[in-house]
Amino acid sequence: MEFLTNLEIGFAAAFSPWNLLYCFIGCLLGTLIGVLPGLGPAATIAMLLPITYTLDPTASLIMLAGIYYGAQYGGSTTAILVNLPGEASSIVTALDGHELAKQGRGGLALSTAALGSFTAGCIATVVIALFAPLLAEAALEFGAAEYFSLMVLGLVASVVLARGSLVKALGMIILGLLIGIVGTDGYSGIDRFTFGQLELVDGVSLVAVAMGMFGLGEIIENLSRKDPERAVFSASVRNMLPSFADLRAIAAPVLRGTTMGTVLGILPGGGALISSFAAYALEKKLSKHPERFGRGAIEGVAAPESANNAGAQTAFIPMLTLGIPSNVIIALMAGALILQGIQPGPGIIRDQPDLFWGLVVSMWVGNLMLVILNLPLVGIWVRLLTIPYQFLFPAIMVFCGIGVYTLAGSTMDLHVLVLFGLVGYVFRKLECEPAPMLLGMVLGPMMEEYLRRSLLLSRGDLTVFVTRPLSASLLAIAVIAIIAVALPYVRRRRDEALEE
């Protein structure tokens, strides 16, 4: 009965005119940035963070969520038709999707991707609606020590699942933690790492750092290499309705991909990208004719597209229930809530039911909007690829500069934007993922708060973290994960899996 009451609250919030409008705007922007290579949900959400400061929290989160899962839809369109994935998680879709397009079955591939994405999105939303409140209710029993240990486990998991060197990922986490504690100490009132700059008393702007790393850094990276030739799509797409035989062929892959994405999306660092590759690998292993994959297997489109959409949506569960962002995009959304004075975590469901249940219902609405946006407007989306990049990047830079400055009216934020734009480019060249740094920056102040609160309550006794059973268990899992991944065999298998 309570569940139905909560859904009623969600429908009332999601179907308000303004929230419907922002849901549509988010889905439209998500499709657009999914289509266009060189852009991505992280950069777009970073640029829009200043705008969300003026919006209602529910409307802003609905819009940002629409951008995230909408990008998964848009990326598949160009991956299938012109072999140019707009979004990283759509890379694997291009393997079989484009082969189907070359065989004259592009319409079938597009409809399969849309049906798989819609089905996975709906199922993942049901999972959020059913299990997130239960997890949040359990999290309300956590004390300060348990929250600190949980955040340590979250950061360790992001290091373990990060692509590339473990040492580099750990270094990025530490850098993010250090940046996160810049500013005034809330307990003593002493300025830390401000170097006499009054503008840093309130800390380093998360918005400026995110825009620099994912906005300017991406621009510099794109301009530093020769712009690849963009394919032009001119053929018409026909026969988009799958036959009964096609539906039978894709039913099981869609369900397996949805399950894979639902589970991996919750893990820190998992999300849509790893989910899509894992689902494709699973389908290839289960197939009686694995040689078909890469030559136009419809299962190779259905499974990864289902997985990446399910992963994109269940990635919200840790942030909404535990306050732990599972990836950098969710971390930026957590930052948007913090800017508005809302602390991500279990208190959201209890204190902000309109926000949580409005977001859940908006995901159903958004998935339906995306099907309508993507299939009939295929030709328009693909023709956007003809826009030269030299016309796109100045507009992105202008939006970044205006957005950062209008947030606080500080020129220091503009300096931070430029600095971290250059830093982001250098990190890309050094193959250091920026995502762990942003996670560390978001979680750092919260970890410090829970650490100091735990020590105050225990009168400085450090054993409080290991004498409380749940806290000790979380820390033990973190230690085991670090030791396991440090073993040569495990590290080698991890590197092979992430490389695949």
- Band of the pLDDT at 227, cuts 50, 70, 90? low
CA distance 349 to 339: 18
Q: What is the mean pLDDT of residues 31-53?
A: 74
**pLDDT at residue number 494:** 56
- Band of the pLDDT at 300, cuts 50, 70, 90? confident
**pLDDT at residue number 296:** 78
**pLDDT at residue number 229:** 46
Determine which of 152-166, 190-204, 355-369 has the lowest per-residue pLDDT on average: 152-166
**pLDDT at residue number 211:** 76
Cα separation of the two ends of the chain:
46
Judge whether residue 462 has pLDDT over 80: yes
Q: Is the dihedral of CA 121, 123, 126, 127 positive or negative?
A: negative
Judge whether residue 421 has pLDDT over 80: yes
- Band of the pLDDT at 212, cuts 50, 70, 90? confident
- Band of the pLDDT at 185, cuts 50, 70, 90? confident
- 363/94: higher pLDDT: 363
**pLDDT at residue number 497:** 53
**pLDDT at residue number 24:** 92
CA distance 282 to 297: 14
Q: Pick from 92, 79, 121: which is nearest to 279 by CA?
A: 92
Q: Give the number of domains in the chain.
A: 1
Is pTM beyond 0.75? Reply is: no
**pLDDT at residue number 458:** 85
**pLDDT at residue number 238:** 56
Render pLDDT for 93-125 as a digit per residue (tens, 0 to 9).
877 887 887 777 777 888 888 888 888 888 888
- Tokens 């809530």 correspond to 337
Render pLDDT for 145-166 as a digit per residue (tens, 0 to 9).
888 888 888 778 777 666 667 7
Judge whether residue 228 has pLDDT over 60: no
- In angstroms, the Cα distances linking 495 to 177, 486, 487 are 25, 12, 12
CA distance 146 to 265: 23
Domain span at residue 495 reads 2-499
